[in-house]
Amino acid sequence: MFAEGKSVFRSRRLEPPETWNNPSIGKLMDIALSARSQVNKLVPGNTWEMAATVKTNSDEFGKLKIFQPEEVSTDSQLTELLQVSEVRLISDESASELLVEVLPSKGKFCERCRRYTSSEEGRPCQRCERVLQTLRAAVR
Ligand SMILES: [Zn+2]
């Protein structure tokens, strides 16, 4: 039903750089794609409406931190890879394998990036607000 592990490279704004042609980075992508396929299994509809919690052991946690250094983020590479509005990344020694939980995002819809990452209805999210400020400054 889902094209597991195939769709991610075709998703918007995500082109693997040439430096990714490297075995340890391949391992890293395998972990991220495994999380992505869990999100796909859990969410039949628009995954951008969701916030994901990713729990895993310290080894995989250390690798995934490359994609998201913060515990919680709405604009990390990990949110791009999982195609969700927010990711909470947690190290859990009791997790023998990577566990993904999803809940509807608490954020409000951002018209600009079409994610649920805004703190206020009808306003762009913080990331888009920064972009818009830069644009405003450039055309002033
Ligand atoms: Zn936005």
CA 93 – CA 103 distance, rounded (Å): 22
Report how far apart, in Å, the C-alpha atoms of 69 and of each of 33, 38, 66, 79, 114 are. Answer: 18, 21, 6, 12, 23
Q: For residue 37, how far is its CA from the centre of ligand 1 (angstroms)?
A: 24
Q: For residue 128, how far is its CA from the centre of ligand 1 (angstroms)?
A: 4
Q: What is the pLDDT of residue 7?
A: 52
Q: What is the pLDDT of residue 12?
A: 60
Q: For residue 74, how far is its CA from the centre of ligand 1 (angstroms)?
A: 9
Q: For residue 122, how far is its CA from the centre of ligand 1 (angstroms)?
A: 11
Q: For residue 42, how far is its CA from the centre of ligand 1 (angstroms)?
A: 24
Coil, strand or helix: which one is 51?
strand
List 73's β-bridge partners, or say none.
Answer: 87
Range scoring the smallest mean pLDDT among 26-30, 31-35, 48-52, 83-87 = 26-30
pTM over 0.85: no
In the structure encoding, which two tokens stand for residue 51, read together?
Answer: 């916030």
Backbone angles phi, psi at 74, to 5 degrees: -110, 0
pLDDT at 5 over 60: no
Grade residue 9 by pLDDT with cuts at 50, 70 and 90. Answer: low
Q: What is the pLDDT of residue 20?
A: 62
